Structure 1
Amino acid sequence: MAQAPGSTYSKTRRRSRGFQAASSLLATRVQKAAEGRGFAVARLLTHWPEIAGPQLAAATRPVKISHSRGAFGATLTLLTTGPMAPMVEMQLPMLRDKVNACYGYNAVQRITLTQTAASGFAEGRASFTHAPKTAKAPDPERVEQAERVGAQFTDPTLAQAMATLALNVAQRQSRKT
């Protein structure tokens, strides 16, 4: 039996759906913001590490997609740092295929790179880390001196911090001489 248009059933059912995920509440706003930059599929922005892969995602950020008049396909603009640009450029054909797979058709014809500095690069979200430097093992005599400095304090956290500080100061002084 059909309910009347103004019945209480539809009102109570609407109120009883419970909590909603934040993503469902913001989906339309994110979609409109993405469309303003040319991204008809916001998934390209939100899932960039999955689409590009971890190495390319760490070195690049999608900025905009521009469509030219009368031409088929769009141009994707990526930000990258200067030293990474040649490495990214070698992988552009593979990246274009992955981006088009995200869209489901051959939407992107070209990918252009814009080189920029690491600071201000998407508010610091991109990680531009170098390989860790291999540190030499500290001199045992300096470690002993640092432990004696740390032993002067009763608080174990403070003692450890002071011992580390004393060791760092001693190593720095040895490098200067």
Structure 2
Amino acid sequence: MQGQTDQNSRRRRGFERASALLEGRIRRVGEKRGFAVARLLTHWPEVVGDETARICRPVEVRYGRDGFGATLTLLTTGAHAPMLDMQKDALREKVNACYGYAAIARIRLTQTAPTGFAEGQAAFAPAPKPPAPAPDPRTAAAASDLAVEVRDEGLRAALQDLGTRVLSRSKR
């Protein structure tokens, strides 16, 4: 009964961001691995930078018995480990800035091969997106006709692009 009232109240509010719908689930999964702040997992490239995010990813956070700072374990390939080892202090500062306090006291590196065991596979860089197919000239012309009355150049171009995308979608 409780789940049904949650759905009804959600429907009355209208559209919600996908991140808001998944926030609770991501937090629960992250907390199992010791990540009190799920933002560290979900925004890893923004926290440490694109260059570093391509060569490593966070695996877990372990809190010691004495409670003075945690250990962040990062997964990387063997070739990148020495470079990351030299950047530990800067990485710790960036991660602690994400937490808002000195949560991480140590960073531990775990090395793995680029391919291997199921848990240790290290494909860090996302695959490039395939290029979008060129729109049909008739569809582009129809979208251009719809936006011809708009005076602002930037707005007209954006509306033409939107119109082309909407008109070229397959009917469902």
TM-score, scaled to structure 2: 0.62
Q: Distance in 2 between matches of 1:124 and 1:107?
A: 26
- Say if 1:99 and 1:117 are closer, same or farther in 2 by CA, change over 3 A: same
Q: Distance in 2 between matches of 1:118 and 1:47?
A: 22
* Residue 55 of structure 2 is aligned to residue 59 of structure 1: yes
* Residue 19 of structure 2 is aligned to residue 20 of structure 1: no
Question: Which segments of 5 or more consecutive residues in structure 1 lack a partner in the other structure?
Answer: 1-11, 129-177
* Residue 30 of structure 2 is aligned to residue 34 of structure 1: yes
- Say if 1:14 and 1:96 are closer, same or farther in 2 by CA, change over 3 A: closer
Q: RMSD in angstroms over aligned alpha carbons?
A: 2.4
- Say if 1:14 and 1:77 are closer, same or farther in 2 by CA, change over 3 A: closer
State, as a whole percentage, how many aligned pairs show the same letter.
56
* SS of residue matched to 2:37: coil
Q: Which amino acid aligns with 1:56?
A: T
Whether the 8 Å CA contact 2:64–2:70 is kept in 1: the answer is yes
- Say if 1:14 and 1:42 are closer, same or farther in 2 by CA, change over 3 A: closer
* SS of residue matched to 1:16: helix
| Counterpart position of 1:68 | 64
**Residue 16 of structure 1: how far off its partner (Å):** 3.1
Q: Distance in 2 between matches of 1:32 and 1:14?
A: 21
* Residue 98 of structure 2 is aligned to residue 102 of structure 1: yes
Residue number among 72, 75, 81 corresponding to 2:77 in the alignment:
81
Whether the 8 Å CA contact 2:114–2:121 is kept in 1: the answer is no
* Residue 147 of structure 2 is aligned to residue 126 of structure 1: no
**Residue 25 of structure 1: how far off its partner (Å):** 1.2
- Say if 1:13 and 1:50 are closer, same or farther in 2 by CA, change over 3 A: closer
1:88-167 equivalences in 2 (<5 Å): 88-119=84-115, 125-127=123-125
* SS of residue matched to 2:102: coil
Q: Distance in 1 between matches of 2:81 and 2:10?
A: 52
Whether the 8 Å CA contact 2:59–2:74 is kept in 1: the answer is yes
- Higher radius of gyration, 1 or 2: 1
Question: Which segments of 5 or more consecutive residues in structure 2 lack a partner in the other structure?
Answer: 1-7, 127-172
Q: Distance in 1 between matches of 2:90 and 2:113?
A: 25
